[in-house]
Amino acid sequence: MIAVSPTDLEIYLFHEGSLYKSYELFGAHVVEQNDVVGTRFCVWAPHARQVRLVGSFNEWNGTNFNLVKVSDQGVWTIFIPENLEGHLYKYEITTNDGNVVLKADPYAFYSELRPRTASIVYNIKGYQWNDQTWRRKKQRKRIYDQPLFIYELHFGSWKKKEDGSFYTYREMADELIPYVIEHGFTHIELLPLVEHPFDRSWGYQGTGYYSATSRYGTPHDFMHFIDRCHQAGIGVILDWVPGHFCKDAHGLYMFDGAPTYEYANMQDRENHVWGTANFDLGRPEVRSFLISNALFWIEYFHIDGFRVDAVANMLYWPNSDVAHKNPYAVQFLQKLNETVFAYDPSILMIAEDSTEWPLVTAPTYNGGLGFNYKWNMGWMNDILTYMETAPERRKYAHNKVTFSLLYAYSENFILPFSHDEVVHGKKSLLNKMPGTYEEKFAQLRLLYGYLLTHPGKKLLFMGGEFAQFDEWKDLEQLDWMLFDFEMHQKINVYVKELLKWYKRCKSLYELDHSPDGFEWIDVHNAEQSIFSFVRRGKKENDLLVVVCNFTNKVYHDYKVGVPLFAKYREIINSDAAKFGGWGNVNAKPVAAVKEPFHGKPYHIRMTVPPFAISILRPVKKRGDGSIDGKEKVHRHVIGGRTR
């Protein structure tokens, strides 16, 4: 129950930086006391001389609507004895130097459709959820040893109506969810959906951190979308930006005429790269605001996780020639993660960090930042650089493929092919591949297969699943007409097949974060640019043999060392004709020979297709699940690290 007046404890905790449900104190709340229904407004404006409430209920005239200052550090409040739900409002703030500014509510639950900028009184409560089965299941399973393949998308440009308008949250549930299920993705990740004034910021420059953008409907409409995702078994991750915010006049910037949410020092405040302002992460009230915001999306929208944007921008002070660490950011991120996991241990907290900062996914009690996942930007950059290298020269860039396994278990990694890699002249993933039309598709299939089989969870940006030829055009929908072309149809079939086997083969995800889950067979064949390795599950004989050929040459009767004496059946070959390949497949199981090779006790002879990946698994006997001709295998066990 929201009280008519803020309590002393709420105010104390807010100024201390530990009011983690500050959205219950601030913003606009319809409340009832002594049979009187009214609306309470509360705002933090520490430098203001005066704060008045203006809106559609008083013809935007703040006379007689003065807020009362209830804290020496700038908490202001007013109670209007009327239910103002649905009304527009702003705060009219008189600054210390006598200027008057009109500001939207930082804690507003709903906002006007851009370009209008007023806040809207909205009852965030009352939505009837139907995702109890999903939430119970999520609590029972540890994500570390479960499949996690994320489909990243921008809500406004995934698909548009014929007239170019957006699908609403409710309409998108009907459009998107069947598509995600059909492909087999486990989660979707939505580019930021906080209210933001400029479409082309994609939500990364927000003003309303507590407002689901009104571009696509109401907050309850967005809850409906998430609810439907959960009922279909799809997790929902939000892109979230606690590092910086836009400088539009109605937003957080210079909120009461002086630095409030941003650093007071201009060198620390200004983010010249994006034209934004950096949050003052050392200010207690800002910590209350941001940590509360994470809990708000979890509590009211049942969000399953956050991809925390631009962590490097927080960890290091901006505008400096030297990499100076920001201790406030470290403390904030640690407290953020501790608080979120105390509230819900199943949440995904994913750091988008491009630096070598250590222990990003280690627990805070071990000196870590406390995230449970980190994007592997090094792997992504290395493998894309390797793929863009002319095939005949890849032997000179061999270490671009091998290097990632030297640090693959230093953090809990997600392997991302995200929106950042297909915009601003970087070309689409397909168009990064060298060679002819057919060779581009072949190498993209190989790249996706390598993504699937490399240790770590996975992420793919929208359009990649059918090989979008152009880079992302954020004002248009995806090029759905490409489904009229055979090669795009076939690579889409291939992606679906990859995800089917990904979820079917525990060896592809159970030991993602343990060295026990990966073992090189041949890592030294730079001359032919062929790599072979084993992926393992928790059970001793649960394994796959993977062979990748990054050149356009085909090899028949190619010898590969294997760990088990068994027949091996090819479950995926990216060169199969049904995927658009040339058809160099191993149609029949290949039998192991009792002769050591590649440091393994046995070997097989197989066809290695050009620009392709082959994934083989031991054939099991019917009935007992054992391997044909099973012989004892000795494995060196090294304890892996997960949270």
Q: Which residues are catalytic?
A: 309, 352
Backbone φ/ψ region at 60: left (φ over 0), alpha (ψ -120 to 50), beta: left
CA atoms within 13 A on the CB side of 422: 26
Cis peptide before 115 (omega within 30 of 0): yes
Of 452, 387, 442, the residue nearest 552 (C-alpha): 442
* Count of residues in the chain: 643
User: Angle at CA 295, nearest 5°, toward 292 and 296?
Assistant: 80
Q: Which helix (H) or strand (E) holds 555?
A: strand 555-562
> How far is it, in rounded angstroms, from Cα 582 to Cα 571?
17
DSSP letters for 580-622:
TS------S-EE-BSS-BTTBSEEEEEEE-TTEEEEEEEPBPT
d(CA 100, CA 62): 12
- In three-state secondary structure terms, 464 is helix
192 to 156, 207, 421, 458: CA distances (angstroms): 11, 12, 17, 19
CA distance from start to end of the chain = 36
Cα of 178 vs its chain's centroid, Å: 20
What's the burial of 355, exposed, middle or buried (CB within 10 Å: 0-12/13-18/19+)?
middle
CB contact set of 485 (below 8 Å; sequence gap of 6+): none
DSSP per position, 365-385? GGTS---SEEE-HHHHHHHHH
CB atoms near residue 388 (< 10 Å): 13
Half-sphere exposure of 352 (CA within 13 A, CB side): 19
